[in-house]
Amino acid sequence: MALKPPLSDLPIKTANAGFYRGFSVDVTVASKIIISVLVVWCIFWPTQSGRVLSDLNSVILANAAGWYIWTVAFFIIICLGLAIWPTAGRMNLGVEGEKPEFSNFSWFSMMFGAGIGVGMLTWAVAEPVAHFGSNPETIQGLTTGGAADNVRMAYKWSFLHWGLGAWACYAVCGLSLAFFSYRRGLPLTIRSALTPLFGKALSGKLGHVIDIVAVVATILGVAQTLGFGVEQFVAGLTRIGIGGLVYEDGGATFVGIIVALLVIMGASTLSALSGVGKGIKWLSNINMVLSIFLLGFFILFGATWFGASAMFLGLIDYLLALPQMSFNVWKSDGVEGSEAFLLAQWQGWWPVFYWAWWIAFAPFVGLFLARISRGRSIREFVLGAMIVPSLMCFVWFAWAGGTAIDLELNGGANGVIFDAANGDKIFAMTEFMLAPIADILAWGMAFLIVVLLMTFLVTSADSAVLIVNTINAAGDEGPKARPHILFWGAALGLVVAGLLLSGGTSAIQTAMVIGALPFSIVMVLMCISLIKAIYNDGRREAAGIPATMEPDATAAE
């Protein structure tokens, strides 16, 4: 069959006038209905919704755990394969000769802030501590939970969840969007990434369904981040002296949840209304400065050498065990308390949950990565988007989590950190370190973490609102009408509130695992589509047939 120029026109019908002017009515209305039904269900029938979500989660973990594990392994292989493949590696994510808009430092900084953000403040301390207590090696009796021989295992598993697998999910989505939008001039929306498989059929109902799935996954993925962040934000407010927001066991009260969401979503909506150039830009700058300060505090005044050892040995253990950890799926034997049962349960709690989270987060981070990576080569994009942010995560986990473990093992913390709620662990640790010197220093550090936490949460929420509106507007990145920004800001806050009320963060986790499942299928198709497109573009280049849009084209602008 004779080669033809690639598809560079994918019309998506949008409203010409009225409330939905510039938006795809099919995608926007359907997405709003799905999210609204979820909110109403969780808020007005919290017991029933919590039970149903829990039952669905059990079914997914019993039948789809292997799908999540192997799918993310597939994404890692695809990304590394594209970087190695000569034809793919040298291709530009733009027209030929186009140069990147951002410097490498700015590019790496924005990737890290978008892809991880608030997760570092909760999990950089809480996750190594959790795995230090229990992990597959302790379940199998190979190491001892809470003992020195289990430190390396704690980091091996922590690095798995925040390393190459996480960033491969983001890279697959971002690379597909950048390739088809900036090389082909197609709309900057999820459906464009599947044009080599489905062609112009994506202009209709099939494309609408794909974008709807992406919007719902994005809302649930960001809701997961905000759910953890809200509980930590409430813990921080309590640490700086605002009472009545937590129960005796450390959980956020109803009042605490509402106060936190009003502050976070109110600020994020104002930021989204101001646009990328103002609110989001300034918040990102504040994030970076405060993050560097906090990380520097842990490296210099925390467990400096313990953290360095955790970083070096943990990285070696992770890379050596990566193939086995990426493909192994534990099957339960149905006997509660047995080794097989506990291993399968642990895998559902940790790797399966994380892979679902990163997949649900991928439309949000992927679209953002695409926007900041135009003009870079595929090899540069893949290696930059996977390796550098992974290393930054490892540094946070090594010194923040390492400080917590070292203080408990050798510093006399005596459970002060380990016994705190996950969101409160970083506050408990810094207070233990600074209170003996001066209470004002401990209070000041808690206040700084609260401010950093809020900027991360606000940045995540307002970016999500703008990206959801971009998908709903058929890839148009321009300013959006205020009512739509206000709706999605309120909807995101209500999703978090409704799910927290129906079952706490576990309900958000369950909804996100369910919502990520259909989008994981879309992402697998995106990989196949991308490989087909790159292969055919290589053939086009060899035959002298144009493979990109014209240099002066404005379709992707």
Residue 340 sits in a domain whose CATH number is 1.20.1740
How many alpha carbons fall within 13 Å on the CB side of residue 512? Answer: 32
| Boundaries of domain holding 329 | 30-543
Residue 425 in any domain: the answer is yes
pLDDT for the residue 168? 95
Q: Which residues contact 531 (CB under 8 A, 6 or more apart)?
A: 78, 82
What is the predicted pLDDT for the residue at 394? 93
The answer to whether the CB of 164 falls within 8 A of the CB of 319 is: no
In a domain, 1, yes or no: no
In a domain, 91, yes or no: yes
The series of mean pLDDT values per 10 residues for the chain, 557 residues long, is: 78 88 92 88 79 79 88 96 91 84 76 67 90 95 93 96 94 94 91 94 94 90 81 87 73 80 78 56 70 90 93 96 95 89 92 91 86 89 89 92 93 89 91 89 91 81 82 78 80 80 70 86 96 91 79 43
What pLDDT, on the 0 to 100 scale, is given for residue 505?
Answer: 64
pLDDT of residue 2: 66
Backbone angles phi, psi at 544, to 5 degrees: 75, 20
**Whole-number pLDDT of residue 403:** 95
Nearest to 174 by CA among 157, 154, 196, 192: 192
pLDDT at 117: 63
The C-alpha atoms of residue 21 and residue 387 are separated, in whole angstroms, by 41
Q: Classify residue 242 by burial, with Cβ atoms within 10 Å: 0-12, 13-18, 19+.
A: middle
pLDDT of residue 479: 59
Number of domains in the chain: 1
13 within domain boundaries? no
pTM as predicted? 0.90
Contact 404, 125 (CB under 8 A): yes
